[in-house]
Structure 1
Amino acid sequence: MIKRLSIVSASIALGCLASVAPVLTSIYIAEEDAERREQDDLREFAGKAVMRAELVSYQALAAIADMEATPGAPCSPAHIAQLARVIFNYRYVQDAGAYGGGEYLCSPLLGDVRAQHLTMPEPDRRSNDGFLIWYRHKSPLSNTRQDIQVGRNGNYVSIDSQSYVDLIDPARRPIAVFSSDTNALLALSTGADSADMVNAWQQAGNVSSDQWHYAIGRSATLPLAVVVKSPRRSLLGNWTGLLGMWLSIGVVVGGLFGWLSFRKISQQLSFPSTLEWAIASKRIDVCFQPIVRLADGECVGVEALVRWKLNGRNISPEIFVAVAEQNGLIQPLTDLVLDKTIDELSTLLRSRPSFYVSINVSGEDLQTRRFLDVLTARLRGTDIRPAQIRIELTERIFLDADTTRQTIAAFRNAGHPVYIDDFGTGYSSLSYLQTFKIDVLKIDKSFIDTIAQDAASSIVAPHIIRMAHELGVEILAEGVEHDAQVDYLVEKGVQYGQGWLFAKAMRSKELIAWLGEPRTQLEPMKQCDDR
């Protein structure tokens, strides 16, 4: 009897072990996998924190460069007004001013303080390229807040140190930013333990802790590094609940769905920050699509088109331009396109005084003269004629016609011809045209495609052409792809064309080669992209 009970007990024990062992093994594997995922996620978060620190620092350096290019006597009313524009144009710059002789001289916030002899402390760091950096410095504007101050050649900017750690993070993980060459603590997120983060930095993130994971991120271009940490989450601490989770398929599926949704939302939230970083670090490219005179096939100009490749993948301009407009990034994006266009095509434009490039300008820059002022300043001293930089606008300007009419007139008065892009897509606004003074209408590709077809929209292109002739403006047809379209457009008096029949968008080097050689020899040439 006892032997039989022992056999039964052993069988029950083996059965239980056989049932529980796979679950326990799965829990152990899940524990190891969860820890690895936490560490990978934390390292990814450290990379994003480095990108934010780089973005803030690049804005400080770019603001200094703008200030150094500002003409006029230091601390004059005109100079202080220019400094105020710098503060407005750069999101993370809190103050911008002049210094000399170890003293503050003036800024839009301080005013002219030369008579007050406000002493500046010795900088904490001097870079090889002449920048002075003050870490967590108390400015005369506040007795409590500690800013990071950057200066060079008598100009300085103040940056709120919290800008370096102000990331969208639902988990509110602690962040610390360090100077990687001096080991100084630059910024600390709210609630973070400075002693703990300094210790983690000194140990290169190799901290033995049952409660926290640590990760280090380093900038490849600036002497910046970040320390981040996140709490460890033990699966084995709640093994009874985990058993229930393994036995419940619904909970697993629900958890997987929630995880995927969270990852998707996180990616969407991070996209504007990535775009902001790409603009600040000039990772956005500009390509150029030729504009051809239809009568003789001569290339008379190009349109500047913005392109962005992220992690080896082309991002559609329709996507990232819309994100830029929604997140206050469209003006710096337009400024970057202008800078790259002039840098890459200045020699070509000077050698061909009749050649031009058109740049797309957003509705936001039609509310003020900001972009016209930027454009005028950028062309100064380049020997590029104003008529060689042309402005392209969309029909959306008609939605706020009274506000934009004066700005458009200011562009034309400054010598910049004005184009209306994609004309015809807002067909109901045709009547507004007679109240605007413009130079060229661009007929949208969708209407050029219907030329000589029976489609209902095929009547739009002839109507636009007749109206443009009556108004005395020139016409540019977009999306020309067939010789028959060219014959029709020439017959109707359309002066210019743009499309793949002539050339796709290309980079500046390919454009210069394309302009200098017979086009039939250049067909295999690498294009900017195929979109």
Structure 2
Amino acid sequence: MRTRHLMALFTGVLILAIILPISLSIWQAARQAKMQFYRELDDYSNRIVVRTLQVADQAREALREADAHTAASCSPEHLLTLRRIAYTHRYIQEVLWLRDSVPQCSSLEDHSVAVTFPPPDHIAPDGYRTWLTSINDLGLDHQMTAMGSRQHMVMIDPVSFIDVVPASEEKIHTMLFGLDHQKMVISSQPLPAKVWQRIKDPHVDMLTLDNTVYRIQRIPELGSGIVTWSSTLPLQQHIRQQLFFWLPAGIFTSLLATWLLLRLLRHLRSPRNSMLDALNSEAIQVHYQPIISLQDGKIAGAEALARWQQPDGTFLSPDIFIPLAEQTGLITQLTEDIVRKIFADLGPWLRQRPEVHISINLSVDDLRSPTLPTLLHNQLQHWGIAAEQIILEITERGFVDPETTMPVIAHYRQAGHRISIDDFGTGYSSLSYLQKLDVDTLKIDKSFVDTLEYRPLTPHIIEMAKALNLATVAEGVETESQRDWLRQHGVQYAQGWLYSKALPKEQFILWAEHNLHAH
């Protein structure tokens, strides 16, 4: 039954490995093309807004300069000032002087045609007035935008507001309109009537109609709105261009994932089923590797290590079946099985030897287990063993999610357990990271011990632990020179083949008793 479920699972994963990367590459190609489309549309819309504000600012500046003149109205000096302002301001076509909304003279006319401007279309908070009008003192029928102060007015060609070249290869249209009366000021192309109706809603800033995307921005201080739009029909061409990049990547990922899954299936299908059988049949054993005090050579404790004996008498490496247990969701079941075996093996002996501890390795999943703390408590109570005799070893990656793990660790410490960081230096460690951890012991990984003379990081790790008042345990000590170096540098404990390999329970108790009697 388990084999059938395993095959169904891997078949599903294999199908996903084939389909998902290719599907994601197609999705990503479309996403990138759309992002580029909207980015270019937004960029052009923002540039139109900037241009509109620039033109308005220049108009205000021109009006301030005109209002600041002191010469008599329409005198040669006054007219020269108006002409100088029109000449030096890029977007200004004409500057007029008015009396009661009637132009009297301008930068183009010494004596203007007597026309009367209607009430303004918009009055800004700063008092400047705005018109969209074809009325002018030249008698021309030409739509212009005007901005006026109390006595002066500047005429602006509406094209100035939208005379911005798009950065996109695709055609982007734009329109400037008045917010107060919904008047069109200038447009590069007629706007459909149904779009006009939609943009009247002040809450609408983006809409899509008839394969066209419309972007609406409003400038309340100017009483103006800007619409930019572009057809989505060229998107298909952009998507095809993106597919030239993303589809090969998706196909390669799919092939690679398929190859890896087939290898994984071949290697893991049978061991996983065997592990389930091993857990159910109590086939997994626990061996104990002594941990020695470097100061006096006396045993301080031992690390409990799982051993899985195969039918041919060999042992399967924990580096294989521990990750397999994690991948298949069996790690907590395996850990709880090991905990029960530790107390069954050493319960009476640990009660007689309160100075000796046993270290148990916990995975990230074990920290989330709601049943493991209860199991430990019940076993300690049953055998009459102090909680401080059980040290919990957690790898560095177990601290990556502090919001989840720290409360669990705090609970274990309150129960009396000591906490050790296992395989230190191979994961996510840093000084700031260590300062935040409520732990007791730091275990230096074997890779650092093997290269003491060539890796200058090891002394820094030791000094870091001293600064934080953490005990240190060196793993994988195999030579006397390593032992001496570690002792000289202040490491308190060591374990490794220099002292003993991991031993079955009977051999471990004999070894430990011999050591204790010798010291």
TM-score after normalising by structure 1: 0.47
Higher relative contact order, chain-length normalized (CA < 8 Å, sep 6+): 2
User: Which one has a bigger Cα radius of gyration?
Assistant: 2
